[in-house]
A and B are shown apart, each in its own frame.
Chain A
Amino acid sequence: MRILLVEDDDLIGLGVEAGLRQAGFAVDWARDGRAANLALTTTTYALVILDLGLPKMPGIEMLKWLRSCGKDVPVLVLSARGTVADRVVGLESGADDYLGKPFDLTELIARCRALLRRSQGRSVEVIRYRDLTVDPAARTALRSEVRVQLTAREWAVLVQLLTHQGVPQSRSRLEESLYGWQEEIESNVVEVHVSNLRKKLGTDLIRTVRGIGYVVEKA
C-alpha cells in the first residue's frame, strides 16, 4: 500500500515516514508542493498525507488542484492550524480527514487505515476471504484458524490483491505498492512473492491473468 507523504519539516517527515514503514506501508516523501505534484502525476497512491504549510505551493492549493484533476485518492491533512475554521476549510477543499499538530503517530496510522478501508469499500479492518482471515492492522493472517507467517512484502502483495478483489493488478501496480522511491526494485520480485503466497495460502488463491498480472477473484 503506497502512501505519499507531503511534509516540509524534516523531523516530522522522517518520523512519519518511519512510523508508516513500521506499519507496513510503502512511503514516498515529497518536501514541497511541486515535488508532490510530480509524484501524483506519475504514481498511483492509495493515500496522501498532506501538510498544509508547504513551500512553493500551499497545501490547500495543492488539494484543490488534486480534486480539480479528478483524482479521488483519499487525502489526510496535517496542519498546525487546528481551529474549527481551519478544519472546515481543509475538509471543504477536498480533504477526507484533518489532523492537527502535534498529533499522535498511532492515531495518524489508524486514521490512514480507516481512510484506506473506506476507499476500498470496507467497514471493518479484518478481511475474510474463504478460509482466510487477514487483519492488516495487526498484521496477522489466519488460514483455517492457523496462523501463517508472512514477510512484509508478501503482506503488501496479499493486501493489495485482497483489497481489489476481482480487479486484476498489474505487476507494476503491485511493485508500486511494495516500494518507496528510495528502495531498489528487484526484478521478478512480484512473481517470487506471489509464488510464496501460493505456497503458504493455497495455490487457488491468486490467479494469473495473462499479459496483465494477478487477481484474487471475488468471494
Chain B
Amino acid sequence: MPASMRRHLMLLVFASITLVWAITLLSSFRHATAEVEEWEDARLAQFAQTLTLLDQNDLTALSKAHVDAREEYGRGGSNGDDDKLPRNMLFQVRDGDGRVLAASPDLAPLGAWDPPSELAPQPRQGTRMITLGGAAGAGQAGGQPWHTYTLHDGPSGRTVRVLEPANTRSDLATGAARRISEPIAFALPILALLVWISIGHSFRPLRILSTVIDAREVSQLEPIDMGRSSSEVRPLIDAINHLLSRLRHSIVRERTFTADAAHELKTPLAAIKVQAQVALAAQDTLQQQLAMERVVQGVDRSARLVEQLLLLARLDEHDRMPMWAVALDGLARDVIVAKEDEALRKDIRVALVSDARFEIVAEPVLVNMLFDNLIDNALKYCDSGDRVEVAIRRDARAVLLTVRDDGPGVGIEELGRLTDRFFRGTGASSTGSGLGLSIVARIVEYFGARLSFGVGIDGRGLAVEIAFPCAASD
C-alpha cells in the first residue's frame, strides 16, 4: 500500500489528541484526589473539634456507637459518598494527664497510639499541615492506610485523636475522572470522522489537479488554471505550469526546426530537379554535361544538409558521447589540410597560430565538426586574396580558440542572429544552409564552452572565439 498523507495525518492528529487527553485526565484525576483528601481532612478536624466539647457520658456513649464516614457525608450535602465498604471513624480522647477518657473499642486491637510518641505532628504525604494545634496524617495501621488527626485542646487540656480508614478508592476522585473522560471517549470517534473528512476536504485541490492533468490531451500544454488555490497547492501548480511552458517552448522549437528543415531541404531538391530537367531538355552535350554536374552538386548539398540536421538532432537529444583528451592544434591542422584545395582555389591563405600543444577533454568527432564548420564558413565568406587565421592559446582559466578572417565580415545588426538556425547573412553565398554556426553554437554549449563574436584581422572581417573552460597540459 503506498504511503498515504491522509492516513499519516490522521495518525499524527490522533496520537496528539490522545496524548493531550491522557495528560489532562491524569492531572484532573490527581487534582480531584487532592481536593477530596483536603476535604476529608477538614471533616476529620471538625469531628475532632466536636469531641473536645463532649462530656464524659457523651464520649462513652459515642464510643459504643459506630460512626460511619459515609453517613456523615451523606447528610452533609448532595455530593454523597457512594463507597461500598463501611468506613468507621475511630477516636481516642485523653485528658491533660494522658488518661484515656474515651476510646473506640475497635481501636485497641489495632494497637495504635502509645503516647507520647504519637503526639508529635506527623507530616503527611503532600506536606500540608493543619495549624489548629493538631496535625493530620496518613498512618499505617492494621495493614491499611488510615487518616489520623490529632488535636490538643488548650482550655480542656484534652488530646483528641481521630482515625479513619483512608478512602483509597474514593468515588469522588474516580467519578470526577470519569466525568472528564466520558465525553472525550464519546467525542473521539466523532472527532476522528470530522478530522478524516476535513483532511479529505483539504486534499481536494490535489484530487482536482490530478483529474485535470489526467484529462489532458498530449498536445494540451497551456497552463493549468484552477482559480484561487491554497498556498500549499499553488507552488505545485506553478511548478507544473513552469514545466508545461518549458515543454511548450521546446515543442514549438522542435516544430519550427522540422518546418525549417523541410523548407531548407526543398531548395536543394528544387535545384536538383531543375538542373535534371535542363539536362533532359538540353540540345548540346556540353550543356547537358554542365547540368548533370550541377545535379551532382545539388545532391552533395542536400546530403551535407541532411548530415548537419542529423548532427543537430543528435546534439539536441543530449546523449553524452564518450570524451577524452584531444589535441586542439592537431585537429585544427588536420581540418586545415583537408580544406587546402578549396583555399587554394579561392586564393585564401589559412594560417594556424599555436605555440604549444593544447589538449582539452572532448569528443573528437564534434571538435572536428567544430573546426570544419568554422573554417568552412571563413572560406565560404572570404573573397579571393583574404586571410584566415586559426589561433589557439591559453589564459588563466580557459583554452581559447579563435578563427578570424579579413573578409567582408558581418554587420553589427546581424551578429546576434548568427547562431540562429537557417539564418544566412545578407552577404551569404547561396550554397550555405545557414546551419554552420548554429551547429558550432550547439557543440560549444555541449562542451560547456563559451562562444563570442568579434572583429577579425586588422579591424576587418569576423572573429569567432571559443573558450573551453578546462585545464590544458602543454
Contacts and interface: CB of A to CB of B under 8 A. Distances in A.
A120 interface: no
Given A10-B431, A22-B283, A31-B430, A15 B277 contact: yes
Contacts of B430: 8-11, 13, 31
A103 B278 contact: no
Contact of A11 (B277, B294, B424): B294
A19 B426 contact: no
A198 interface: no
Given A22-B283, A55-B428, A105 B277 contact: yes
Contacts of B273: 102-105
B270 A103 contact: yes
Interface string A23-67: 000000001100000000000000000000101100000000000
Contact of B275 (A14, A82, A103): A14
A12 interface: yes
B271 A55 contact: no
Interface string B116-137: 0000000000000000000000
B456 interface: no
Contact of B270 (A18, A31, A81, A101): A101
Majority SS at the chain B contact face:
helix
B266 A22 contact: no
Interface residues of B, number: 31
B88 interface: no
A32 B429 CA distance: 11
A8 B297 CA distance: 16
Contacts of A10: 271, 429-431
B281 A15 contact: no
Given A10-B430, A31-B430, A105-B273, A22 B278 contact: yes
Interface in B254-295: 263-264, 266-275, 277-278, 281-283, 287, 291, 294
Given A11-B297, A12-B271, A18 B263 contact: no
B426 A101 contact: no
B268 A19 contact: no
Interface string A66-102: 0000000000000011100000000000000000111
Given A55-B426, A56-B426, A106-B277, A15 B271 contact: yes
Interface of A: 8-16, 18-19, 22, 31-32, 53, 55-56, 80-82, 100-106
Interface of B: 263-264, 266-275, 277-278, 281-283, 287, 291, 294, 297-298, 301, 424-431
